[in-house]
Structure 1
Amino acid sequence: MKKKFTSLVSIFLMALLLAGCSSNTAVVEKNKTSEQTNQNVAIENSNSKNNSATKENDNKEKTLINLGALKGPTSLGLVKLFSDSDGNSAANDYKYTIYSSPDEVVTGIVKGELDLAAVPANLAAVLYQKTEGKIKVLNINTLGVLYIASRNDIAALDDLKGKTIITSGKGATPEYALRYILKENGIDPDKDVNIEFKSEHQEVVQSLAKDENGIAMLPEPFLTVAKTKIDGLKTNFSLTDLWDKLPGDSMLVTGVMIARADFLDQNKEVVDEFLKEYQSSIDYVNSNIDDAAALSEKYDIVKAPIAKKAIPACNIHFIAGEDMKKALSEYLNSLFTQDPKTVGGQLPDENFYYQGQ
């Protein structure tokens, strides 16, 4: 009986010991579960905050920008931006319009229908004077893109004497660049040649096609278009090359992007974001010619095969800040010395040039 009693006590004590171990294990597991639950709650809270921030960025209201460009090199440089805007991946919301003549763009800016616009370089200076400083230039977008072409071999500029040169761009960069180069080479543009202006580049091509001995000045990509329509048409001179041979350090600047000053003052961060996207678009066009050519056709600028040939000769650039100011001021000064009216009667002051934030 004594042995049995001792065995029962031993069994009872062992049961108590096991129960105690089981209880301690349960407490540890409970604590672990509690800690894990707290961690999960923290992670969920963190994820919730991140998701809220992401949704806030996704739902960030975009600024509407009314953007105008001219059919040609300036709009070619913008095609990737157009595409990004259509795909809702651009930082801003762009309502863009491609115009055929500078006059239409000027009207849009003056009436406040456009916030930003690509215009001929000298026309920006004229607008600055006429609007009493209500526009600013943001960047240079195009350097020299003008060429003299005909079916004939023209060895020297003197061979143009007594001839008619058909072109467009009266009162803008094409006219003044041509006049400046002729004068600097001893040719009077009012007496020695006849400059016949058309309202659009397509009209120049049509006139050239009808006249076997016709001579025209055309920008790219319209020169490439003309070569596909006119057998034997050849490039006689690049105005950029002729300009670079003249005394001085100025470059031939064709196009710039301008902004209404009031829009810029109220939306500097937005405009700076536009400039980043614009530079990316220009870089894309110059580096991805096939894709850019396809976009050119999509946006009805020129057909893809034409754009593919023309883009390398379009001299599309992005020049901003101090580099823009230096290049543009030197170019405008060269026009001013020729005729003050070409830049609006006087050279623009410092406020004309946007330097960024």
Structure 2
Amino acid sequence: MSGFGKEGHLSGLTENTSVENWDSIEQLKSALMNNEVEVAATPAYVAANLYAKGVDVRMIAPVVWGMLYVLGPEGTTPGDWEALRGQKVIVVLPGNMPDLVFSYLLKQNGLNRDSDIEVIPAQDGQQALALLAKGEASWAVMPEHVASVAQMKMKKQGINLTRALNLQEEWAKVTGGEARFPMAGLVMPGKLVDEHPELVTAIREEVSATVAKANAGDADTIAAIAEKYQLPEQLVKGVLPRLQLDVVPASQARDEYEDFLTRLGEDNPKIYGGKLPDNKFYVE
């Protein structure tokens, strides 16, 4: 979203654009339910959950296709789930996307979240980093860019963390599909979608333009992201390929989206509202 309103695809449709970050899922839900935003980036299950509860939000495009990792001690064999048995594992955002994907894959690999590992919850990346620095655990479930920051900061303390589990690759092993999943995407209020379908197309094109630059390693785009999030440009450059950014119209991504929600909700379908969205949710 660093280039939103600057790429030119919204000209003639709106005079002003503003981008704000949400700090919690509850804040995001409130903004959508109270029509305080025209477009929002949301975790996949949040959009479906709101729709199931009668909030008319529509998925216009999944954008982030998986950026989750399990960091572990140096020397850990990549892909070895058994290495987690009996270990303390820091989990960022317990009950939310990183935890949901990790817990599903943990179970699929024969481990019980409640008895085979000890989960140490971290409410955000900063808390997770603090826990790692204190030596509370040497394993952590993290999204990007937090995973890269953790590796960088721990290395300065003489501790090398490895990417023990690439959860995108582990997803592919379990599902037999691609090493990706529709983790997060763009939603809009249904009324706006129905009344201004041209805006849907323009927003997709606007975001796609910045995504293409980011994926190509465009220097100006990297600099803008680094400035916005106060990160080293070199770190941003390394993180971008791991975000798996791809703007896909929602109707084309429906099968992957439904499979993702169904798997995450095997034990608790309430995370996506108890029922999968109908046709209206997926914007052409």
- Of 59, 69, 84, 1:147 maps to 69
Q: CA deviation at 1:316?
A: 1.2
Contact 1:146 1:238 in 2 (8 A): yes
Q: In structure 2, what is the Cα distance between the partners aligned to 1:167 and 1:213?
A: 10
What is the aligned-residue identity percentage? Answer: 23
Q: CA deviation at 1:313?
A: 1.4
Contact 1:165 1:215 in 2 (8 A): yes
TM-score normalised by the chain length of structure 1? 0.71
Residue 318 in structure 1 maps to residue 247 in structure 2:
yes
Contact 1:149 1:217 in 2 (8 A): yes
Larger radius of gyration, structure 1 or 2? 1
2:171 match: 243
**Pairs within 5 Å for 1:149-164:** 149-155=71-77, 156-164=80-88
Q: Which digits, 9 at most, give the CA deviation of each residue in 1:36-85, with x for residues without a partner?
A: xxxxxxxxxxxxxxxxxxxxxxxxxxxxxxxxxxxxxxxxxx22225448
Contact 1:176 1:342 in 2 (8 A): no
1:136 match: 58
2:226 match: 297
Q: In structure 1, what is the Cα distance between the partners aligned to 2:215 and 2:192?
A: 29
Q: In structure 1, what is the Cα distance between the partners aligned to 2:279 and 2:189?
A: 16
Q: CA deviation at 1:222?
A: 1.4
Instruction: Give the secondary structure class of the aligned counterpart of 1:354.
Output: coil
Provide closer, same or farther for how the CA distance between residues 208 and 329 of structure 1 changes in structure 2, counting only shifts above 3 A: same
Contact 2:251 2:283 in 1 (8 A): no
- Bigger proportion of residues as helix: 1
Q: Which digits, 9 at most, give the CA deviation of each residue in 1:96-132, with x for residues without a partner?
A: 10234333222211222122111111121112112x1
Q: CA deviation at 1:321?
A: 4.2
- Of 114, 118, 121, 1:197 maps to 121
Provide closer, same or farther for how the CA distance between residues 354 and 89 of structure 1 changes in structure 2, counting only shifts above 3 A: closer
Contact 2:59 2:282 in 1 (8 A): yes
Q: CA deviation at 1:178?
A: 0.7
Provide closer, same or farther for how the CA distance between residues 138 and 101 of structure 1 changes in structure 2, counting only shifts above 3 A: same
1:214 match: 138
Letter in 2 for 1:184: Q
- Of 208, 222, 226, 1:279 maps to 208
2:33 match: 110
- Of 190, 197, 212, 1:268 maps to 197
Contact 1:151 1:212 in 2 (8 A): no
Q: In structure 2, what is the Cα distance between the partners aligned to 1:82 and 1:194?
A: 45
Larger relative contact order (CA 8 Å, sep ≥ 6): 2
Q: CA deviation at 1:153?
A: 3.2
Q: In structure 1, what is the Cα distance between the partners aligned to 2:88 and 2:60?
A: 36
Contact 1:293 1:303 in 2 (8 A): no
2:98 match: 174
1:125 match: 48
1:342 match: 271
Q: CA deviation at 1:285?
A: 1.2
TM-score normalised by the chain length of structure 2? 0.88
Contact 1:167 1:217 in 2 (8 A): yes
